[in-house]
């Protein structure tokens, strides 16, 4: 049985929720525009006087329009807030192009490919605090690049300012010109690590973080639908929660080629500071990936999360990891029906790395005894071939990192990597180590246990295709499992 597409049990509540959102939108947009002219990116700052003139003219105007629109927003909140309390904490989109299983039986190994990426698709004004603007333009281009290996993406140059940040034409040229992936330095112990220019063309799942903006989410869903017929979005309970108010959902977004048969969202109760504004948590999804010759279902578990961000709050992140292990166990015990489990993966932005002394508590957490990290040698030491996934925000538009090919060369260079990848914490840590990775805070982990089919990691990729479009390096895991029989499915 697949998920219901409506997040409400009563069909009348959906239109009311949409009406409330529509009434809030003008105030949201004017406030976002106000921040967009006040907070400038490094590219705009280099334009000098022109930017200051726009700020002087635009800021008072958008602030005035925001004040005028507030009565509408208050009316919208009177509908939006109570409906959030009865709404399922995620929405499900099933594309009309999705097909059911053909019933064909396939024996032997099967590879599943998972991509995880933090896209920083916040409202435009907030994204600028990370030196990233033009959220709508970026979301459209990112979506095209995610499906470009499967189908040609159309050129889109966007606004003149956006094009000066990262030309869509330049990025899409890379997709068409790179015929095969380029492999990075060989890892220790046979670690199949690669730095690839393009996303893998055969991805089964996209696990995305920081898709906070509703219009950006809509653009992603529209473009991805042709390749990923199942999408879970708008994940997390906004509104009043746990003696506070969540202005944003979790930002999690899951796109799948395989139908979800169960899903549940768990919200972290211990957020603090700016992270308390978003309903961060854990999304657990059970997907149907095949049927054996004996007609036994073959399923997989995808768990996606985004942990607490402030660097000094290691205790909060450790508590969240303890909770997510409990929740995953609870979800799987409640939804297990004696199927064959092909894989169990956990992915997302964990906001700590495996090389910083300041992150030693998180590095030693029980999580890493339950799930295997392909990039990790041991606590505090990465495997050779691993590179950091967090870029220095102030340098995002330097020539060395603003195109996919340049970013790949930079990641493969010991000296350049130290310049453009975020440094371990504290920043005065000794950098004279044999293989300096920088901060890798994006993870795809997989479980080895008797209840899951034996898995082999075929490839682990650090993908540079979003150069200039995000401050994170996307990652992908290619994991091979041998199942009794597995039909082709979409």
Which residues are tagged catalytic? 472
Q: Enumerate residues 6+ apart whose C-beta is below 8 A from 352.
A: 307, 314, 317, 359, 362, 363, 441
C-alpha torsion sign, points 168, 417, 310, 325: positive
Q: Enumerate residues 6+ apart whose C-beta is below 8 A from 463.
A: 115, 117, 196, 197, 198, 199, 473, 474, 475, 476
Residue 377 to residue 366: CA distance in whole angstroms? 16
Residue 326 to residue 370: CA distance in whole angstroms? 11
Residue 366 to residue 405: CA distance in whole angstroms? 37
Q: How far is CA 236 from CA 123, 210, 241, 258, 463, in A?
A: 17, 12, 11, 22, 28
In three-state secondary structure terms, 394 is: helix
Q: Enumerate residues 6+ apart whose C-beta is below 8 A from 407.
A: 400, 401, 464, 467, 473
Task: Please answer whether residues 330 and 301 qualify as being in contact, where contact means their C-beta atoms are separated by less than 8 angstroms.
Answer: no
Task: Please answer whether residues 313 and 270 qualify as being in contact, where contact means their C-beta atoms are separated by less than 8 angstroms.
Answer: no
Residue 343 to residue 287: CA distance in whole angstroms? 10
| CA proximity to 214, closest of 425, 21, 360 | 21
Beta strands in 292-419 (DSSP E): 297-306, 340-349, 371-372, 376-378, 381-382
**Can you name the residues that pair with 231 across neighbouring β-strands?**
93, 255
């Amino acid at each position: 049985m697949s998920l219901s597409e409506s997040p409400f049990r009563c069909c009348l509540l959906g239109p009311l929720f949409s009406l409330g959102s529509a009434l809030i939108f003008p105030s949201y947009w004017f406030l976002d525009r106000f921040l967009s002219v006040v907070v400038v990116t490094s590219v705009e700052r280099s334009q000098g006087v022109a930017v200051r003139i726009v700020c002087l003219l635009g800021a008072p105007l958008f602030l005035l329009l925001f004040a005028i629109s507030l009565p509408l927003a208050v009316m919208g909140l009177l509908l939006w807030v109570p409906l959030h309390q009865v709404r399922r904490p995620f929405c499900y989109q099933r594309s009309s192009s999705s097909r059911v299983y053909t019933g064909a039986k396939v024996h032997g190994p099967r590879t599943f490919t998972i991509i995880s990426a933090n896209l920083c698709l916040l409202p435009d004004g907030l994204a600028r605090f990370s030196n990233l603007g033009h959220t709508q333009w970026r979301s459209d281009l990112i979506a095209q690049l995610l499906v470009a290996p499967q189908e040609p993406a159309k050129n889109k140059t966007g606004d003149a300012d956006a094009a000066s940040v990262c030309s869509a034409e330049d990025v899409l040229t890379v997709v068409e010109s790179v015929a095969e992936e380029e492999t990075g330095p060989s890892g220790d112990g046979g670690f199949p690590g690669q730095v690839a220019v393009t996303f893998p063309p055969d991805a089964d799942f996209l696990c995305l973080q920081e898709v906070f903006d509703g219009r950006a989410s809509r653009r992603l869903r529209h473009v991805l639908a042709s390749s990923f017929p199942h999408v879970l979005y708008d994940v997390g309970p906004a509104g009043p929660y746990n003696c506070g108010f969540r202005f944003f959902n979790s930002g999690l977004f899951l796109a799948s080629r395989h139908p979800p048969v169960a899903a549940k969202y768990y919200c972290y109760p211990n957020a603090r500071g700016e992270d308390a504004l978003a309903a961060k948590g854990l999304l657990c999804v059970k997907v149907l990936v095949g049927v054996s010759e004996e007609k036994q279902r073959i399923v997989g578990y995808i768990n996606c999360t985004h942990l607490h961000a402030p660097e000094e709050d290691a205790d909060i992140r450790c508590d969240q990891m303890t909770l997510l292990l409990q929740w995953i166990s609870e979800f799987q015990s409640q939804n297990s029906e004696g199927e064959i489990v092909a894989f169990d993966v956990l992915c997302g932005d964990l906001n700590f790395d495996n090389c910083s002394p300041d992150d030693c508590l998180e590095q030693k957490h029980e999580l890493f005894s339950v799930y295997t990290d392909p990039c990790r040698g041991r606590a505090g030491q990465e495997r050779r071939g691993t590179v950091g996934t967090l870029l220095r925000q102030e340098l995002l538009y330097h020539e060395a990192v603003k195109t996919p090919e340049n970013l790949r060369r930079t990641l493969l260079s010991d000296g350049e990597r130290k310049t453009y990848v975020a440094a371990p914490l504290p920043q005065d840590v000794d950098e004279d180590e044999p293989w300096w990775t920088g901060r890798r805070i994006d993870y795809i982990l997989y479980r080895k246990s008797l209840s899951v089919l034996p898995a082999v990691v075929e490839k682990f990729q650090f993908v540079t295709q979003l150069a200039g479009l995000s401050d994170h390096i996307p990652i992908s895991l290619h994991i091979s499992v041998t199942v009794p029989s597995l039909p082709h499915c979409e």
